[in-house]
């Protein structure tokens, strides 16, 4: 361990955090892939609608104030 100038400790005496060898391949089932796709589509639709809602609020608030 060597001290850094800012008063923090820099750790240089540790090994790799991954075990040796290649990682095993994990393939999700078709049902899990479909569920992930549906979840992602739902999240995109939710955030797009939230952004549109915020834009309408800003527009109509500015239009009624002027």
> Does residue 54 form part of some domain?
yes
- Residue 19, pLDDT > 80, answer no
Q: What is the mean pLDDT of the chain?
A: 81
> Does residue 55 form part of some domain?
yes
- Residue 2, pLDDT > 70, answer no
> Does residue 4 form part of some domain?
no
Contact 2, 14 (CB under 8 A): no
Q: Which long-range contacts (CB under 8 A, 24 or more apart) does 1-5 make?
A: none
> Does residue 19 form part of some domain?
no
Determine the pLDDT at residue 58. 83
Range of the domain at 38: 29-66
Determine the pLDDT at residue 21. 79
> Does residue 37 form part of some domain?
yes
> Does residue 3 form part of some domain?
no
Q: What is the pLDDT of residues 4-15, one digit of tens each?
A: 556 666 666 666
Of 12, 42, 44, nearest to 2 by C-alpha is 12
Give the total number of structural domains in the chain.
Answer: 1
What pTM did the predictor assign?
A: 0.52
């Amino acid at each position: 361990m060597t001290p850094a100038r800012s008063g923090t400790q820099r750790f240089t005496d540790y090994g790799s955090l991954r075990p040796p060898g290649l990682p095993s391949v994990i393939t999700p089932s078709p049902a899990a892939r479909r569920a992930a796709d549906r979840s992602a589509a739902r999240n995109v639709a939710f955030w797009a609608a939230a952004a549109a809602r915020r834009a309408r609020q800003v527009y109509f608030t500015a239009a009624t104030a002027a």
